Structure 1
Amino acid sequence: MSSRPSPQTDRLLDLVDLLAARPVDGATLAEIARALGLSKTTIHPMVVALTRRGWLLRHPERHTYRLGPALVAAGRAAARGHAVIDAARPAVHRLAAMTGLTCLALVTGAFPGERDELLIGEIGAPPQPPANGASGAAGGMGPAYRHLRLGDRFPLQPPIGSVCVAWSDDPTTVEQWLDRLGSDRPSDALAQITPSLAGIRARGWSVEVDRHLRERLDLLAAELGEDQRGAEHAAALRRILSEVHRTFGLADALPASIEPGGTYRATTVSAPVFDARGEVVVVLAAICASDQHHAPVRTGAEVIDLGERVRAAAEALTALTRGRPPALWQG
């Protein structure tokens, strides 16, 4: 049962997001109304109420609003309520500096009436690349995914979330994860993914491989099918695609093993942080692709090196927060 939408709540959240993006200058009532696509009459009562509660501050001369001290207190309370995220912040920034990649701390959790999701708890931006265009320490591409924000959510749909299910001793957990593929779930999905999950447990980290080519081929087939003149070509392309989809499945998106001499278009490398019960509470992830979802070719040795760096950071965070690996841990 999904929750019912709340327009007023959405407006409040949009307002906070807007002012969070302008922490110094803030915005006038007119600018807020224009950015949210609402009238000043609609926005004004909400702004006044938030200002009275200390969530917003109004500049006496410029008549601009910015986030207030009450939100600072709320943020500190949130940090104390999630000690692992508090500890993960410096770890994520160190990992970003070390790898030259955008790195994330993703919080595991669930929303009532919705599927489990991963929430961004911290974002570590890599150092700015040198003026000569040299890449980062691990072949990074400079700042990536600039559109990501704290609190953004990712659905746990394969291959995303493999590190969250790889150590589960409940067989239904993997089945429920695979069911999130819906009609795209292959009949042999469990057989495909079993070696991949075993490989993740053995390494202590997962790597997701770019499937962008498949997506582009699917789009091309659809575009050709809309043009009667391309119907014959579209039919031929669909036959090819059916073979591609059959041979390039979950096992290719989540390789069970990484050959040092091979090449891979890795998009994300992730490792789990465990709590005291041995359950995944945070996922550390290094984003290898760019904003345009372009994943550069890396050698297997480079992918392994990156995976070990992410794993070491996750293991250190598990130890720092007094977590423990689960019984199925093989790393």
Structure 2
Amino acid sequence: MESSSRASPPTDRVVRILDFLAAHPAERFGVSELARRLGLSKPTCLGIVTALADAGYLVRDAGDKTYRLGPSLITLGHKAQESMRVSPAVREQLRRLSDRFGATAALSGVIDDRITLLDLVAPAGARPGVEVGQSYPFAPPVGLMFVLWDDEAKRNWLAKEPTLPLRTETGRLNRVIGRCRDDGYLVERLTPGGRRLYALMAGMTSDLPDELRALLGELVSDIGERVYLREDNSHGRKRHDISVISAPVYDHDRRQVMVASIHIGKSLTDSEIVDRARALVTTADAVTTQLGGVKPSWQT
């Protein structure tokens, strides 16, 4: 972590204005209200929004002298997606998967040691609850899907300071890893704790207050606890509450670089789970090919 002495207060003020407007995309704000909401002086705020408007990052309404996000941010966003290797062809793969099952399909990667949502396609009218650019700390228990298929990555991930107090049942985790490698995908069960975990973790750093760490620790107690394994169905349940299914995307060095996911959020039968998982693996393989990647021989 960089020293706070190297921070740039002027830059921070620019970021605060852009973040605030991004959080209110359907609204417009005058200089006085922006300054008041963000705790800035009016002259400082005016100087910043004027410069941003001149560059096209904001649009100024000449009538009521209010500001909103501008078209230059669209170009910037597209360039950011390109730099993260999210192309229109990749998005089309997500769209097909989403259309087939009426579910949200997404692509995520680890950027600057944080899991970041790179692209997302949701059914018409759906509210997925997550947004492109949203990120989470990449440390146990968050991020299992990024290390299941790489022993070195798994060791490095497990060695990280966990974001939550937890225990690791080695036998269970090894069984999860073996099953997921055989199947080529990971299925996470939908639990009350898991449902709340990612909402609480979104945007947070790894440095959580002790009280919050303890609270979150009640939600997840073991890394592999929420993973669905068919052999666990000893009670003969016909349906299972499923949260998300994930599959790996590889680069030209056969290393996992992304995760393709389909968000379920409902009960499925075993055959419905397998049907969606196999379609997801097909999508992940297509993305791998479009990125010029190669699937490891033991995964083919």
Q: Scaled by the length of structure 2, what TM-score is found?
A: 0.76
What residue is the counterpart of 1:273 in the other structure?
A: 249
Structure 1 pair 183–127 and aligned structure 2 pair: CA distance change class (3 A): closer
Partner letter of residue 273 of structure 2?
V
Task: State which drifts further: 177-186 or 263-272.
Answer: 177-186
What residue is the counterpart of 2:205 in the other structure?
A: none
Shift of 1:59: 2.3
What residue is the counterpart of 2:136 in the other structure?
A: 154
Q: 1:98 and 1:37 mapped to 2: Cα distance?
A: 47
Structure 1 pair 95–321 and aligned structure 2 pair: CA distance change class (3 A): same
Query: The residue matched to 1:144 in structure 2 has which SS?
Result: coil
Shift of 1:43: 2.0
Q: 2:189 and 2:138 mapped to 1: Cα distance?
A: 16
Q: Is the 8 A contact 1:15 1:36 kept in 2?
A: yes
What residue is the counterpart of 2:260 in the other structure?
A: 284
Query: The residue matched to 1:54 in structure 2 has which SS?
Result: coil
What residue is the counterpart of 1:253 in the other structure?
A: 226
Shift of 1:117: 1.8
Query: The residue matched to 1:83 in structure 2 has which SS?
Result: coil
Shift of 1:119: 0.6
Q: 1:300 and 1:39 mapped to 2: Cα distance?
A: 59
What residue is the counterpart of 1:311 in the other structure?
A: 281
Q: Which runs of 5+ in 2 are unaligned?
A: 197-217
What residue is the counterpart of 2:102 in the other structure?
A: 100
Structure 1 pair 73–143 and aligned structure 2 pair: CA distance change class (3 A): closer
Shift of 1:8: 4.7
Task: State which drifts further: 46-55 or 74-83.
Answer: 74-83
Structure 1 pair 327–10 and aligned structure 2 pair: CA distance change class (3 A): farther
Query: The residue matched to 1:62 in structure 2 has which SS?
Result: coil
Shift of 1:206: 0.6
Alignment RMSD, CA only?
A: 3.4
Q: Is the 8 A contact 1:159 1:254 kept in 2?
A: no
Q: Scaled by the length of structure 1, what TM-score is found?
A: 0.69
Q: 1:207 and 1:158 mapped to 2: Cα distance?
A: 17
- Mapped pair 1:143 → 2:131: no
Shift of 1:163: 2.7
Q: 2:127 and 2:164 mapped to 1: Cα distance?
A: 35
- Residue-pair matches, total: 274
Q: Is the 8 A contact 1:169 1:328 kept in 2?
A: no
Shift of 1:306: 1.8
Q: Is the 8 A contact 1:117 1:156 kept in 2?
A: yes
Shift of 1:271: 1.2
Q: Is the 8 A contact 1:261 1:301 kept in 2?
A: no
Find the partner of 2:146 among 164, 170, 187: 164
Find the partner of 2:162 among 178, 181, 189: 181
Q: Is the 8 A contact 2:141 2:222 kept in 1?
A: no
- Mapped pair 1:28 → 2:30: yes
Deviations 1:113-158 (A, max 9, x none): xxx2211111212133xxxxxxxxxxxxx5331xx22211022344
Partner letter of residue 154 of structure 1?
Y
Structure 1 pair 2–97 and aligned structure 2 pair: CA distance change class (3 A): farther
Query: The residue matched to 1:312 in structure 2 has which SS?
Result: helix
Q: Percent identity?
A: 28
- What are the residue-to-residue correspondences of 1:1-331 with 2, within 5 Å? 1=1, 4=4, 8-20=10-22, 26-36=28-38, 38-110=40-112, 116-128=113-125, 142-145=126-129, 148-170=130-152, 173-179=153-159, 180-181=161-162, 184-186=165-167, 189-212=169-192, 249-257=222-230, 262-289=238-265, 296-329=266-299, 331=300
Structure 1 pair 37–149 and aligned structure 2 pair: CA distance change class (3 A): farther
Q: Which runs of 5+ in 1 are unaligned?
A: 111-115, 129-141, 217-241, 290-295
Q: Is the 8 A contact 2:141 2:162 kept in 1?
A: no
Deviations 1:150-186 (A, max 9, x none): 211022344532231112142xx32332344367342
